[in-house]
Amino acid sequence: DAKTTQPNSMESNEEEPVHLPCNHSTISGTDYIHWYRQLPSQGPEYVIHGLTSNVNNRMASLAIAEDRKSSTLILHRATLRDAAVYYCTPGSGGSNYKLTFGKGTLLTVNP
């Protein structure tokens, strides 16, 4: 399984952009990169996923390095509601595929 490395914690100010990095240097060519977040007292919530191209949705943008060894989740304007643990995880597919979580990054948003 591909291993991911994320900073333990990051801090941001409200209404500023946030760039959350993830290193996944052992990812295989067919693995998708998924991001989930977990708000306090909630279950994880899907944020975004991508394979090679950069991806945008209403929640965030995902920038994937050309060599696919790293990616960055971008929150364009952080709000207090974005304070959460953000998990980056590779998705390989197959009958034995299981979504697993690393330690994630705890994002604090200051007012």
Chain residues binding another protein by CB under 8 A are: 30-32, 36, 38, 41-46, 49, 51, 85, 87, 91-104
Nearer to another protein, 53 or 111 (CB): 53
CA angle 87, 102, 3 (to 5 degrees): 110
Nearer to another protein, 1 or 16 (CB): 1
**Residues 6+ away with beta carbon under 8 Å from 88:** 4, 6, 20, 22, 24, 33, 34, 35, 71, 73, 102, 104
β-bridge mates for residue 75, sequence order: 18
CB of residue 15 to another protein, shortest distance in Å: 28
CB of residue 58 to another protein, shortest distance in Å: 14
CB of residue 17 to another protein, shortest distance in Å: 24
